[in-house]
Amino acid sequence: MKRTRRAALALIAGSSSVLAVETFGFSSADADRDVRVAPVGDGNAYLGLTEDGVEDDGVLFGGDPRHPPVRFDLSNQCPASLTVTLTVDPFRFRSADGESIDGSRFVVDGESGGLGPGERVDAVTIGVPPDSVDGGETVTGPVTIDARGDGIRIEAERKLTIAVPDTGSRRQRSVSSGQSGTGSASNSSEP
């Protein structure tokens, strides 16, 4: 009986000491690896942005000011459909024939679930609102892009500068004319 009791006590003491000591495994590990990340241009990104259909490795609207209207293409290079919202300020979106469409916001959503994989919107057109600036001026503003799909979110902002051509005529400003003096005035037409 004494041996059993001693054996039980030794077993309890041994097991409690094993529980009190840390395990010999590890809880974290570090590894150093060389990773090269090469950013792609707007034309090759998941949401491809190309100006006038030209593929390049740069950023949309980079470089010199553009002359209105400015056109670019938008293509979904993701494996899922995207709902794309474009907003501009102080510019306005235009249709291909130059008419204003929905102002400063352009949404590609549709009943089909948005812009499908591999689909493209050609000639998204941006212009300067009529009578908003005088000819010869330069206008700069953001083009904000927000695209969302199943587990995908793409946000981008590009700076667009448009040089409004000087057509020789300034926008018309309201002019008031007055008449002073005494006397009466009338406007009549005789048959």
- Of the chain, the end-to-end C-alpha distance in Å amounts to 141
The reply to whether 139 falls in a domain is yes
Within 10 angstroms of residue 102's Cβ, the number of other Cβ atoms is 10
**Mean pLDDT in residue range 3-14:** 73
User: What pLDDT, in 10s, does the model give residues 149-190?
Assistant: 888 899 999 999 999 888 655 444 333 333 333 333 333 334
The reply to whether 4 falls in a domain is no
Please give the Cα distance from 88 to 145 (Å, whole number): 9
Dmax over Cα atoms in the chain, in whole Å? 141
Q: Which residues of 126-163 are buried (b: 16+ CB within 10 A; e: fewer)?
A: bbbeeeeeeeeeebebebbbbbbbeeeebeeeeebebb
Provide the number of structural domains found in the chain.
1
Helix (H) or strand (E) holding 15: helix 2-20
When pLDDT is cut at 50, 70 and 90, the band that residue 98 belongs to is low
- CATH number for position 120: 2.60.40.2550
User: What pLDDT, in 10s, does the model give residues 66-96?
Assistant: 988 899 998 999 988 999 999 998 998 887 6
**Average model confidence (pLDDT) for the chain?**
74
The reply to whether 173 falls in a domain is no
132 phi, psi to nearest 5 deg: -90, -30
Q: With contact defined as beta carbons under 8 Å apart, do 87 and 67 qualify? A: no
User: Cα-atom radius of gyration of the chain, to the nearest Å?
Assistant: 34
- Domain residues for the domain of 123 are 42-163
- Per-residue DSSP letter, 44: G
**Mean pLDDT in residue range 132-148:** 88
The reply to whether 182 falls in a domain is no
Take residue 75 and report the two structure tokens written for it.
């293509």
The reply to whether 25 falls in a domain is no
The reply to whether 73 falls in a domain is yes
Question: Any residues with CB less than 8 A from the CB of 6 and at least 6 apart, and which?
Answer: none
